[in-house]
Amino acid sequence: MTSRLQNKTALITGGTSGIGLETARQFIAEGARVAVTGSSAAGIEAARAALGDKALVIQADAGNIDGQKVVADAEKNAFGHLDILFVNAGVAEFGPLEQWSEAAFDKSVAINVKGPFFLIQALLPILSKPASIVLNTSINAHIGMPNSSVYSLTKGALLTLAKTLSGELIGRGIRVNAVSPGPIATPLYGKLADSEADAKAMAAGIQAQIPVGRFGDPSEVAKTIVFLASDEAAYIVGSELVIDGGMSNL
């Protein structure tokens, strides 16, 4: 069977854990040459151990604008061109409206919106024709979850970007689409709670809202991304694929 991403080059931001790391594994299994970015030294080392010499691992701050040019240069030097970009790096911070500071607001917007925008800009000269860009958004852009105002608005901005950049870039052969995961079993949820007991209670409350009765697996999201990145999705432009076990339909 022919691998769907054979001879393609790919960049995954935030590719050192969770959905990003699993997508890197599946991209490699499908024949792609892969580069991933991560922000922490520990995450970088873990990704190198997990992916071995099958991936280029780049340390980068997703919210630093100058850093996006560094990532683009590293990609160009390693591969010469880019066929697939999965914008996955992001931060999820929650809190009631009255507790948000300007600094915290700016941090979320920088990492989740500003960085991705300028990374795409920096990569434009080396994006192939055709190429595929997939933005990782969230069902939080669609549901009114309390305490998620800033996170949700950043993901809503990415959804808008998927549509506007589709219209702008399709003439250059670049397809832009989005995936919007619901609750996925990644390290993210553990970081949102103060204790293990709080984390378990939070997980149980969320799971009760999912019609299929469980959290999603990172591999289920990664498989969708492989499809959108491949030539099988050549007629899918400016679309959003929701992967949430039916949660946003309630």
pLDDT of residue 188: 60
Is the same domain home to 56 and 80? yes
Q: Classify residue 209: in a domain, yes or no.
A: yes
Q: Are residues 120 and 31 in the same domain?
A: yes
Selection from 63, 48, 172, 59 nearest residue 119 by Cα:
63
Residue 201 pLDDT class (50, 70, 90 cuts)? confident
- Calpha distance 133→75 (Å, rounded): 15
* pLDDT computed for residue 110 by the predictor: 98
In the predicted model, what is the mean pLDDT of residues 43-55?
A: 94
Q: What is the pLDDT of residues 202-223, one digit of tens each?
A: 788 888 989 999 999 999 999 9
Cα–Cα distance, 168 to 211 (Å, whole number): 37
**Is residue 2 in some structural domain?**
no
DSSP 188-213: HHHHTSSSHHHHHHHHHHHHTT-TTS
| Distance set, CA 143 to CA 167, 182, 186 (Å) | 26, 11, 20
Residue 129 lies in a domain: yes
Please report the pLDDT score of residue 249 as a whole number: 83
Tell me which residue range forms the domain holding 194.
188-215
Domain count across the chain: 2
First to last CA, the chain: 39
CB 151 within 8 A of CB 145: no
Tell me whether residue 4 is in a domain.
no
pLDDT for res 171: 97
Query: Of all residues in the chain, what percent carry a pLDDT higher than 90?
Result: 87
Tens digit of pLDDT for each residue in 129-188? 999 999 999 999 999 899 999 999 999 999 999 999 999 999 999 999 999 999 999 766
Together in a domain, 192 and 177: no
User: Which one of 112, 151, 216, 242 is the catalytic residue?
Assistant: 151
Predicted pLDDT of residue 9: 98
pTM, rounded to two decimals: 0.94
* 63-79 pLDDT tens trace: 999 999 999 999 999 99
* Residue 189 banded pLDDT, cuts 50, 70, 90: low
88 and 207, same domain (yes or no): no
Q: Is 235 a catalytic residue?
A: no
**Residue ranges of E strands in 60-185:** 82-87, 127-136, 174-181
Q: Look at residue 226 and tell me if it is in a domain.
A: yes
Tens-digit pLDDT profile for residues 91-144 = 999 999 999 999 999 999 999 999 999 999 999 999 999 999 999 999 999 998
CATH number of the domain at 65, please.
3.40.50.720
Cβ atoms of 132 and 229 closer than 8 Å: yes
